[in-house]
Amino acid sequence: MKKAFIGVYGCQMNVSDAERMEGQLHSIGYVRTGSMEDADLILLNTCCVRETAEDKVYGKIGEIKHIREKNPGLIFGIAGCMAQKEGENLIRRAPHIDFVLGTNKVQELVNVVREIEAERGHVVDVSFSETELPEGLPVERGGRLSAWVPIMYGCNNFCTYCIVPYVRGRERSRLPEDVVKEVGEAVAKGYKEVTLLGQNVNSYGKDHGRADFADLLGMVDAVPGIERVRFMTSHPKDLSDKVIAAIRDGEHICEHIHLPVQYGTNRVLKAMNRVYTVEGYRDLVGRIREALPDVSLTTDLIVGFPGETEEDFSALLDFLREIRYDSAYTFLYSKRSGTPAATMENQVAEDCKKRRLRELMEVQNGISREINEGLLGKSLEVMVEGASKNDAGIWTGRTRTNKIVLWEHGDEQPGDFVQVRITQPQTWVLKGEVCSRIPR
Ligand code: SF4
């Protein structure tokens, strides 16, 4: 058996692409190894959303040069966003790379590897077709209970700090029947939960017009045997009342919406090209909470965007206190060359950004803790995942609202559904005790 090491950087879309790459490698006789030294093939599925992500990959490429010297038969490839962005430059800079495969070429992996196996040489394929989608590929999924299912690729939005539209192209939606088929296949293999993936799932179907995102949610909700349906990411400008109603009416659609606001003043939102306003976002949150009173809302926030003033930052903190997210992913703005924001004037000093980030996290952590404390004594539905990493006697699972719950293990098994009464709510996790099994 030949062995393949696959390193994945970046977002869930990259994880999902890597599962399709692994499926293809498996189909031509490669099995997964966790050790680069043992591997016959090393593939890095890369991210370029921040310069630090690229620096990490360049570090790894250097490390692999030494492995290649000891193992000249090793095949080494780079895929993903950095491959798309850099193309041939990667091989010029590091000739021990055998192939470079762009974001739209996941389905070419088998052909490329066979070509290199037959006749050593460099292959670079970063060509882009706006109509080609990687359908019908074998998938080797990482998890046993939860499956990532991409529903669309690319992004049309061009937020001024983001490189994604340049490396993943315009939005292309899969056909609804292909998505539903993949969900059905995952359920048949024992998966209980799917997460529908896209850079902006709310604009699903605008290109083919066969179904919109609300329609798709309804179709996936109706797949026999599915227990939970999640989705990410939602752009506030496209989240419609029809989608909110689909979540409310769906039996298996989880009441969790990741709704990146990115900032809390109209001036900065405009500079980011986010298209919505604070008032519009506030109104949307009101409609969501009216329809889904138990919803959990999470968000992404960027501090230190060019031109951010103390007044902006203070308004952002006020906005957080008003909206009260369950949790937030907080980022320091970092320049991404090739994006409009990288050349904007009034870049914020690093120490100022760091100070603001600390303050932001402090405010958000306080809110997360208060919201979780409101769950004390409540009984929540949890899908059992298994033993926690640090203590085999403590098990973990998630609520429908995507909160992590910990409890002392009894006789429940992964994939069971249990009611857990919350006894110790904390900022990041809820501790509790199982009070009953939920029959399925
Ligand atoms: S919506 Fe904006 S932040 Fe998200 S991927 Fe598209 S351009 Fe990037």
Q: Nearest residue CA, atom 2 of ligand 1?
A: 159
In this structure, which amino acid lies at residue 58? Answer: Y
CB-ligand 1 contact for 167 (6 Å cutoff): no
3-state secondary structure of 135: coil
Q: Check whether 133 has a pLDDT greater than 90.
A: no
Centre of ligand 1 from the C-alpha of residue 234, in Å: 10
Strand partners, 332: 303
Q: What are the residues whose beta carbons fall under 8 Å from the beta carbon of 66, sequence distance 6 or more?
A: none
CA distance 199 to 78: 22
CB-ligand 1 contact for 235 (6 Å cutoff): yes
- Give the number of the atom of ligand 1 that is nearest the alpha carbon of residue 233: 4
Q: Nearest residue CA, atom 1 of ligand 1?
A: 157
CA angle 31, 136, 145 (to 5 degrees): 60
| 85, 159, 261: residue to mutate for ligand 1 pocket, most atoms within 8 A of CB | 159
Centre of ligand 1 from the C-alpha of residue 199, in Å: 6
Q: Which domains occur in the chain, in start order?
A: 2-125 (3.40.50.12160), 146-373 (3.80.30.20), 379-437 (2.40.50.140)
CB-ligand 1 contact for 199 (6 Å cutoff): yes
Beta strand 152-153 with 172-173 is: antiparallel
Centre of ligand 1 from the C-alpha of residue 122, in Å: 32
Q: Nearest residue CA, atom 8 of ligand 1?
A: 162
- Give the number of the atom of ligand 1 that is nearest the alpha carbon of residue 158: 7
- Give the number of the atom of ligand 1 that is nearest the alpha carbon of residue 156: 6
CA angle 143, 165, 22 (to 5 degrees): 30
The pair of structure tokens assigned to 282 is 């506030």
Q: Check whether 120 has a pLDDT greater than 90.
A: no
3-state secondary structure of 126: coil
* pTM of the full structure: 0.95
The burial of 175, by beta-carbon neighbours within 10 Å (0-12 exposed, 13-18 middle, 19 or more buried), is given as middle
CA distance 24 to 150: 17
Q: Give the pLDDT band (50/70/90) at residue 440.
A: confident
For 323-352, write each residue's pLDDT tens digit: 999 999 999 999 998 999 999 999 999 999
Centre of ligand 1 from the C-alpha of residue 156, in Å: 8
CB-ligand 1 contact for 405 (6 Å cutoff): no
Q: According to the model, what pLDDT value does residue 132 have?
A: 78
CA distance 120 to 114: 10
CA distance 20 to 131: 19
Strand partners, 300: 329
Q: According to the model, what pLDDT value does residue 177 have?
A: 97
Centre of ligand 1 from the C-alpha of residue 235, in Å: 8
| 103, 153, 160, 162: residue to mutate for ligand 1 pocket, most atoms within 8 A of CB | 162
Q: According to the model, what pLDDT value does residue 80 have?
A: 95
Q: Nearest residue CA, atom 4 of ligand 1?
A: 199
Q: Give the pLDDT band (50/70/90) at residue 201.
A: very high
For 13-72, write each residue's pLDDT tens digit: 999 999 999 999 999 999 999 999 999 999 999 999 888 888 999 999 999 999 999 999
* Average pLDDT score over residue span 289-303: 98
Q: Among 44-53, 246-255, 275-284, whose mean pLDDT is lowest?
A: 44-53
CB-ligand 1 contact for 203 (6 Å cutoff): no
CB-ligand 1 contact for 157 (6 Å cutoff): yes
Q: Can you give the length of the chain in residues?
A: 440
CB-ligand 1 contact for 200 (6 Å cutoff): yes
| 12, 13, 157: residue to mutate for ligand 1 pocket, most atoms within 8 A of CB | 157
CB-ligand 1 contact for 272 (6 Å cutoff): no
Which percentage of the chain shows pLDDT scores above 90? Answer: 92
Centre of ligand 1 from the C-alpha of residue 194, in Å: 22
CB-ligand 1 contact for 336 (6 Å cutoff): no
Centre of ligand 1 from the C-alpha of residue 209, in Å: 22
DSSP for 258-326, written as a single string:
E---B-SSHHHHHHTT----HHHHHHHHHHHHHH-TT-EEEEEEEES-TT--HHHHHHHHHHHHHH--S
* Average pLDDT score over residue span 92-108: 95
3-state secondary structure of 44: strand
* Average pLDDT score over residue span 147-158: 96
Q: According to the model, what pLDDT value does residue 128 have?
A: 81
* Average pLDDT score over residue span 118-141: 88
Q: Give the pLDDT band (50/70/90) at residue 363.
A: very high
Q: Contact, 167 vs 84, CB < 8 A?
A: yes
Taking the alpha carbons of 317, 319, 322, 328 in that order, is the dihedral positive or negative? negative
Of 260, 160, 144, the C-alpha closest to 201 is 260
